């Protein structure tokens, strides 16, 4: 889950909502520098689905910046690992191939 769920500008003129899946796609590709293939495995979706989610997220961020909109992260269809720490055995949020994947950031 994101550390912050809303991003404001000084003179907001509205709001746009980004789903948690869209946030996760941006986090994995643009922050963690995973390939789309790696990110799709991490999110357990098809690469084409990941591409659609990622494209939507990028458009929302751009629109929020250009139009001075509040960007709110909320909703979506996702499941969090119940452990979300080093006890996890799901293989998605633990140590993998010399990279650390954290389910919570």
Q: Is residue 88 part of a domain?
A: yes
- Residues 82, 28 contacting (CB under 8 angstroms): no
Instruction: Give the tokens for residue 89.
Output: 């055995």
**Domain total in the chain:** 1
Instruction: Give the tokens for residue 4.
Output: 């912050």
Residue 96 pLDDT class (50, 70, 90 cuts): very low
Q: Is residue 6 part of a domain?
A: no
Question: What pLDDT, on the 0 to 100 scale, is given for residue 85?
Answer: 53
Q: Is residue 89 part of a domain?
A: yes
Mean pLDDT of the region 80-84: 54
Q: Is residue 75 part of a domain?
A: yes
User: Using CA atoms, how far apart are residues 42 and 8, in angstroms rounded to an integer?
Assistant: 29
What is the reported pTM?
Answer: 0.70
Q: Is residue 48 part of a domain?
A: yes
Q: pLDDT over 90 for what percent of the chain?
A: 52
- Which helix (H) or strand (E) segment holds residue 25: the answer is helix 20-26
Q: Is residue 105 part of a domain?
A: no
Q: Is residue 93 part of a domain?
A: yes
Question: What 3-state class would DSSP assign to 34?
Answer: coil
Query: Can you give the residue range of the structural domain that contains 87?
Result: 12-100
Q: Is residue 4 part of a domain?
A: no
Closest CA to 88 of 67, 74, 102, 72: 102
């Amino acid at each position: 889950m994101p550390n912050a769920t809303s991003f404001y500008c000084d003179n907001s003129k509205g709001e746009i909502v980004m789903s948690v899946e869209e946030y996760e796609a941006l986090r994995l590709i643009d922050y963690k520098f995973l390939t789309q293939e790696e990110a799709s495995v991490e999110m357990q979706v098809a690469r084409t689905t990941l591409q659609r989610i990622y494209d939507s997220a990028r458009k929302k961020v751009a629109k929020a910046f250009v139009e001075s909109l509040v960007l709110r992260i909320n909703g979506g269809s996702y499941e969090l690992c119940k452990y979300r720490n080093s006890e996890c055995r799901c293989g998605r949020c633990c140590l993998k191939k010399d990279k650390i994947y954290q389910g919570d950031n």
